[in-house]
Amino acid sequence: MNNNLAPEFNVGDIEKIITELTEKGLKQANIASAGNDWQSVVEPLDQIEHELGQKMSVNSHLNSVKFSEEFNAEYEKTLPLISKYYSEIGANKSLYHAFQRLQNADLSAEQHHIVKESIQGFELSGVGLEGSASDRFKAIQEELSLLSNQFSKNVLQSTNEWKKTVTLEQLKGYSEAELAKVRVEVGYCLSLQIPVYIDLMTYADSSSLREEVYRAYISRASDVGLTSKAFDNQQVMSEILALRSELAGLLGFDNYAELSIESKMVGSTAEVVEFLDELVVRSKVQAMAELEELQTFAGHDLAPWDLMYYSEKLKQQKFGYKRSDLTPYFPEKSVLKGLFSTIEKLYGISVVKVSESTYHDDVKVLELADNNGTIGRIYLDAYARENKRGGAWMSDYQGLYQDNLPVAFVVCNLNTPTGDKPALFEFDEIVTLFHEFGHALHHVLTKVPYPCAAGISGVPWDGVELPSQYMEFYCYEKDVIESISSHWQTGETLPENLYQKIVVSKNFQSGLQMLRQCEFSLWDIHTHMSSDDTSAVLAKVREKTSLMPIIDENRFLNAFSHIFAGGYAAGYFSYKWAEVLAADAYEFVQKNGGIGSEASKSFRECILEVGGSLDFMQQYQKFRGERPQLEGLLKASGISA
């Protein structure tokens, strides 16, 4: 076993550990501030960034995947310590001046880029602030770290709290596969965990049951929901938005969106709004036609809890299959085997499961290697369970640094094994898995030996989704489908007729999906450009994007963790922007040989290996030969308007 690849999940006294590391870091920063070259300025900071990053990552990871009140209480004690540390580093004028001196040093292109980005980082971290303004800036950062954790905790606890015992008769419309997920000793138990919720909204014939579960889900962590009002996030959201606005003001920006855009590829908030508005215009006519088709099919006006149900029925009628027809062909073992073989063909690396005890029996430890030996690890935690944050994500444990190879965590909330059945994945879940592995490969395949720019570190937020969106396209290739499919009972690969149905139905209701994502993105950017009530901002955006009303209890913002507990504030548009890049990149690779081609290898070399060490758009153009065009996304999404 490579010890430098094994995270320490027995975390010990985390408050004491973080205190000692941050104190060590501040001392090293003061020493570095007197330096005049890369070795004396950057390397001491890299060392502490590596050590502190490991501890922070494990603590945050365990708090998300194995939540307990006891651990969270200890974890919360470390948040002000970490926030204070980075505030002190960001406000260290002597260290800032040391980086300015490095601009004239003899450095590589990568080092020059890192220095330039570091200087901007100092400036956006309040290094120019004095006295009370500097103190207030640091205090805000501490408050925001605690509020973000509180938001996430409220969503998790609200989600876990709601349960409903039902009878078999109430679950009319379910197949045995869906029933197995909710079967308990006596009867059946519904929850708001994503796999259970999606099954209910898709298959349950009972409109009243769908309505009840929908209302519980859409009102989580609010004052009007069916769960405890103690988990209401409204005040937390208001405080987060107010503090972000104040933070931006201290730095001289008119609003937080301007501050957020400063470190992204796009040039201005106006550019973001224009991009999203154009997507709305280009997709709305098609979306209206899709909704009209669905309502005609249903034969009555649609409520929000009807959309997934009738969409599935319509999809079955149009394309001749239903989601549950596919799942028997995608047992976990086959999906992972095919995913790993796809990665090997794309990038010339192997992915092998290794034996190692971790924090949970569900976790699989994967070792990645090429002809030169081991290059990193991925810890895959795939199944949904209680006390695990919803959604899917990748986070890094460590980057490439000295003798330490990259290690990443991939977390999903996918279907679990039931009884004698293996985990059978929905096709949408497979797309999610490929997406998160795209992020992980971006991290693990790095050739950058500096923690501040290795893997995903230092990558502009509107570029970080490119590798993940790019990987999604491969789910639909015939060779890949054959490699990931093997009927859990017969071993048969997915039949040709079902494969063709997946392909032709890929862009089913793509106009509606585009509008929905643009709605989220426009709300996000406008909310962070305005002092108006965020619900009022959403209502204004919906005048442009919405095709049907929402219910009074709709509080989806109260559980929008990407914005209030993640890194996507004033940056949710990155998903759509990265889709433009990904569609353009995939089309280019396909036209130039596909999987394993020189174009495929060039994507690895120009994008994945360089991380945040060079200008991201320049690297994209080096790979592609030109800037990406919006038409690629519209074409890939099947939007013709």
Domain range for 60: 3-128
**Amino acid letter at 481?**
I
Q: Looking at the structure, tell me whether residues 18 and 65 fall in a common domain.
A: yes
pTM to 2 decimal places: 0.92
How far apart are the C-alpha atoms of 448 and 397, rounded to whole Å?
Answer: 15
How far apart are the C-alpha atoms of 573 and 578, rounded to whole Å?
Answer: 9
Percent of the chain with pLDDT over 70: 99
β-sheet bridge partners, residue 421: 418
Residue 94 has pLDDT above 60, yes or no: yes
Indicate which CATH number applies to the domain containing 10.
1.20.1050.40
| 436 is a domain residue | no
Two structure tokens written together for 144: 């925001």
Q: Looking at the structure, tell me whether residues 97 and 32 fall in a common domain.
A: yes
Chain-centre distance for alpha carbon 71 = 24
Instruction: State pLDDT tens for residues 412-442.
Output: 999 999 888 999 999 999 999 999 999 999 9
Q: Looking at the structure, tell me whether residues 108 and 178 fall in a common domain.
A: no
Q: Looking at the structure, tell me whether residues 50 and 121 fall in a common domain.
A: yes
| 92 is a domain residue | yes
CA angle 467–471–474, rounded 5-degree value: 155
| 367 is a domain residue | no
Backbone angles phi, psi at 553, to 5 degrees: -80, 0
Identify the CA nearest to 122 among candidates 29, 24, 195: 29
Average pLDDT of the segment spanning 360-378 = 96
pLDDT-derived band at 632 (thresholds 50, 70, 90) equals: confident
Q: Looking at the structure, tell me whether residues 121 and 9 fall in a common domain.
A: yes
Q: Looking at the structure, tell me whether residues 124 and 7 fall in a common domain.
A: yes
Q: Looking at the structure, tell me whether residues 102 and 172 fall in a common domain.
A: no
Average pLDDT of the segment spanning 178-184 = 92
CA angle 578–499–332, rounded 5-degree value: 75
Mean of the per-residue pLDDT values of the chain: 95
Residue 31 has pLDDT above 90, yes or no: yes
| 606 is a domain residue | no
Number of folded domains that form the chain: 2
Q: Between the CA of residue 373 and those of 242, 348, 404, what are the distances in Å?
A: 50, 12, 14
| Neighbour order of strands in the sheet with 350-354 | 350-354, 364-370, 373-383, 407-414, 393-398
Instruction: State pLDDT tens for residues 278-295.
Output: 999 999 999 999 999 999
Count CA within 13 A, CB hemisphere, residue 336: 17
How far apart are the C-alpha atoms of 166 and 418, rounded to whole Å?
Answer: 19
Residue 631 has pLDDT above 90, yes or no: no
* Token pair 């036209």: residue: 591
pLDDT-derived band at 2 (thresholds 50, 70, 90) equals: low
Q: Looking at the structure, tell me whether residues 98 and 184 fall in a common domain.
A: no
β-sheet bridge partners, residue 393: 411
Instruction: State pLDDT tens for residues 466-511.
Output: 999 999 999 999 999 999 999 999 999 999 999 999 999 999 999 9
pLDDT-derived band at 635 (thresholds 50, 70, 90) equals: confident
Residue 3 has pLDDT above 80, yes or no: no
| 211 is a domain residue | yes
**Amino acid letter at 176?**
E
Among candidate residues 110, 426, 436, 472, the one labeled active-site is 436
How many Cβ atoms are within 10 Å of 323's Cβ, its own excluded? 19
Given 101, 128, 155, the domain boundary residue is 128
Q: Looking at residue 1, what is its pLDDT?
A: 41
| 349 is a domain residue | no
| 34 is a domain residue | yes
Q: Looking at residue 48, what is its pLDDT?
A: 94
| 633 is a domain residue | no
How far apart are the C-alpha atoms of 78 and 510, rounded to whole Å?
Answer: 43
β-sheet bridge partners, residue 351: 368
Q: Looking at the structure, tell me whether residues 106 and 14 fall in a common domain.
A: yes
Average pLDDT of the segment spanning 327-334 = 97
Q: Looking at the structure, tell me whether residues 168 and 57 fall in a common domain.
A: no
Is 436 part of the annotated catalytic residue set? Answer: yes
Two structure tokens written together for 532: 């108006």
Q: Looking at the structure, tell me whether residues 111 and 171 fall in a common domain.
A: no
Q: Looking at the structure, tell me whether residues 47 and 97 fall in a common domain.
A: yes
Instruction: State pLDDT tens for residues 340-359.
Output: 999 999 999 999 999 999 99
* Token pair 């054959």: residue: 482
Contact of 204 with 174, CB cutoff 8 Å: yes
Residue 60 has pLDDT above 50, yes or no: yes
